[in-house]
Amino acid sequence: MNEALVSHHGPGHLWLASLGQRGMSLGLERIQAMLDQLGRPDRRMPCVVVAGTDGKGSTSSMLAALLREAGLLVGHYTSPHLVETRERVRVGATCVRAEVLDDALARVQTVAQHVDPTPFEALTAAALVVFADMKVEIAVLEVGLGGRLDAVNATEPIVSVVTHLSHDHMAILGKTLQQIAGEKTAVARNGRILVAAQGGLVKSALRKHGLTPRLVCLGQHATIAPGAPNGVNWQQNAVISGSMLPEPLDVEIALPGTHQLENAALAILAYQGVAQWFEQNKRELAEIGDVVAALAESDWPCRAEVIATDPTVVVDAAHNPAGIEALAALLARHGNHWQIVLAVRKDRVAADLVRALVPVATGFWLPRMAGETLLDAAGLARVVDAVAPGAQVAVASAERCLAQARIESVPGCGVAITGSQHALGEWLQSGVLASPRLNQRLGLDPIRQKP
């Protein structure tokens, strides 16, 4: 976090920017101290915590949509943001105003003088203050990194979710999936529902760490029978059934990719868990069959988002091998001659990401980037040449790469822009790209883009 990534210049945001020197430091002591001093805003509403490697944002967004459809005022906290800090904090379907978040950050600052929080801890506390002030009826909280020592885990969730697990942040979370699962399943609470994508892996981690939640798993408690993809608007449908559901559900989702059907099933199971908790507390939620249509309208900015047609331009924030592989599988359904606009962080193994894209790529367009965390375009070009010697490779400005990729695209395929959330944020901020989904959430012109 630095001032360049803080989109408002009120005192709260400027304090947040100053915390960038603090760096990343996992642990619950600082966030617990701040929440105690703030009067425990997290205890003024029930919370759902969503952890995992892939699909946290999509799953939490779909769950929030289901809960809104049930008539609840929902707080939704996610990370990172692409353009504006307030993207991380939503009440209802839209992001809170920057002034609202700034006020909450300023209040957090008053209790943080002797705590020295990280930027993420400060934002987490501020989001919970906003949710409490706005009297949300439930908060859906996405874990930032890991789970066990993540600031979001300072809350007491009524339901926890662990989405698909894969290898990522291994220097912090562990080199094996078992170690990673141990960190992420720590968001579970004994006796409360934990919804998991990978039952066997999660069950083993729970046993090893002595946790005893009520485990609800894909495969065991819900199965997915995919329908034919909608080739016109990339939407998908499926029948989801299982012991946690009153009847098989015909589900249509707005987010493309077969992996999103898994995320939808996780959101549906989590909704059922929330409904059980509300029933135990003398309040009934709508039946899942009455709210599931909300998934057809639930989206997530820059997650397989089609931002243009003729040619098709797809923007996807995938940045690890599993995410890139899911994107490649989605693109392959439409052809294998895509023009790829790619940027990669320095801390990623770029060869793994390129290798996953090779089967669907004809050309790689590598923009020169300003961000210090991103691999320079010339270095990335050398990686592409080594992994995909037959592919067309070009280095240029972002505007030039996007323009030429469109020109070189072939009918039926198009342009896919991916590899780094930070790069997407840079392009969105400069106006090179526009995300209608993001602009809608921010209350902006949905097609705002640099002329």
Both tokens of 190, joined, read 């004994």
In the sheet that 236-241 helps form, which strands lie side by side, from edge to edge?
223-226, 236-241, 249-253
Extract the tokens encoding 170. 């291994």
pLDDT band, very low/low/confident/very high, at 1 (cuts 50, 70, 90):
very low
Residue with tokens 């067309």: 392
Q: CATH 3.90.190.20: which residues of the chain?
A: 305-442
How far from chain centre, in Å, is Cα 83?
A: 15
The pLDDT assigned to 292 comes to: 98
For residues 343-353, average pLDDT: 94
Cα 183 to Cα 181: distance, rounded to the nearest angstrom: 5
Under DSSP, the state recorded for 284 is P
196-211 pLDDT, tens digit per residue, is 999 999 999 999 999 9
User: For 308-336, what is the mean pLDDT?
Assistant: 93
Rg, Å, the chain Cα set:
21
Q: What is the pLDDT of residue 372?
A: 82
Tell which residue, 313, 227, 228, 216, has the closest CA to residue 266: 216
Q: Is residue 259 very low, low, confident or very high in pLDDT (cuts 50, 70, 90)?
A: confident
Q: What confidence tier does 42 reach under pLDDT thresholds 50, 70, 90? A: very high
Q: What is the pLDDT of residue 175?
A: 80
Q: Tokens at residue 402, please?
A: 């996007």
Residue 237 to residue 230: CA distance in whole angstroms: 8
Helix (H) or strand (E) holding 196: strand 193-196
The pLDDT score that the predictor gives to residue 393 is 97
Is the separation of the CB atoms in 415 and 409 below 8 Å? yes
Q: Please check whether residue 340 is in contact with residue 394, taking contact to mean a CB–CB distance below 8 angstroms.
A: no
DSSP 345-359: BTTS-HHHHHHHHGG
Please give the biggest Cα pair distance in the chain. Answer: 64
Residue spans in the chain of domains classed CATH 3.40.1190.10: 3-296
d(CA 196, CA 218): 7
Rounded to 5°, the CA angle 213-215-221 comes to 160
Identify whether the C-beta of residue 353 lies closer than 8 Å to the C-beta of residue 321. yes
Backbone φ and ψ for 325, nearest 5 degrees, come out as -65, -40
Evaluate whether 86 touches 168 at the Cβ level (below 8 Å): no
Judge whether 60 and 68 are in contact, CB under 8 Å.
no
Residue 36 burial (C-beta neighbours within 10 Å; 0-12, 13-18, 19+):
exposed
Over 50: is that where the pLDDT of 17 sits?
yes
How remote is the C-alpha of 8 from its chain's centroid?
22
Q: Which fold has domain 3-296?
A: UDP-N-acetylmuramoyl-L-alanine:D-glutamate ligase (3.40.1190)
What's the pLDDT band for 368 if we cut at 50, 70, 90?
very high
What homologous superfamily does CATH list for 305-442? Mur ligase, C-terminal domain (3.90.190.20)
pLDDT for 169: 67
Q: Which residues contact 253 (CB under 8 A, 6 or more apart)?
A: 62, 235, 236, 237, 238, 260, 261, 264, 295, 296, 298
3-state secondary structure of 272: helix
pTM, 2 dp: 0.92
